[in-house]
Amino acid sequence: MSIHNQRERRLLTDLTEKNRLAGEFRRLSMHMQRWQQRMRKRHSKRWQAQYGGSIRRGEERLVELRAKLLTRAEDLSARIQEEQKISETEVRQFAEQYKKEVEELKGAQKVLAEAREALAEAASEAADAEEAAAVMAKLRRKHQKAARDVRRETKEVKTAKQEISSEEQDKVILTYELRRILAEIESLRD
């Protein structure tokens, strides 16, 4: 998940926040169960008062967390489904861009090979030293330009590959998170 636009970064940040809230909800639920078990075992008024107050505050916090978590999960569920639709179109666009970049790279490599051949021919055919130097300088510039084009196209192909890979990873992660969110929504509504 190395390459993300602002919308994707915001979605992943919100997912992290939702997961933090869900973890807090689970921890507090476990504490509440333990406190209720301890309260059932202890019969003194002091323990009843101490655990009763803690349980009451915990239940209030659980109700608050449940409401927050439910709204956050429903919002994220809709956003993930929308992102997956967008992601599919982005993957298609990047695949098309990748094909185009590969074609441009092949073209640049062909030009580079032609420049090398022309440079070799000019070196062997040149009779006059000044004429040979002028032709060689001109061909070197063409060769350098072709080499720069090849490097640039190679970099663009690599970037397109990384973006396609990133989008595929995002799709897997978002699918997992969507399943998890739907399960949480069902459990929170009960």
Name the more confident of 113 and 52.
52
With pLDDT > 90 as the criterion, what percentage of the chain qualifies? 16
Mean confidence (pLDDT) of the chain: 79
Is residue 18 within 8 A of residue 70, CB to CB? The reply is no
pLDDT value at position 30?
92
Which of 72, 58, 66 shows the shortest CA–CA distance to 17?
Answer: 72
pLDDT value at position 125?
65
CB neighbour list of residue 174: distance below 8 Å, 6 or more residues apart = 11, 80, 83, 84, 87
pLDDT tops 90 at residue 27? yes
Specify the fold of 6-189: Helix Hairpins (1.10.287)
Per-residue pLDDT tens digits for 38-97: 888 877 888 788 788 888 999 999 999 999 999 998 898 888 888 877 767 766 776 677
> Taking residues 104-112, what's their average pLDDT?
74
> Taking residues 91-109, what's their average pLDDT?
72
Per-residue pLDDT tens digits for 128-154: 666 667 767 777 777 777 778 777 777
pLDDT value at position 124?
66
pLDDT value at position 68?
92
In the chain, domain spans: 6-189
pLDDT value at position 1?
39
pTM beyond 0.85: the answer is no
Q: How far is CA 54 from CA 1, 26, 104, 130, in A?
A: 42, 16, 68, 95
Question: Cα dihedral sign for 102, 108, 112, 113?
Answer: positive
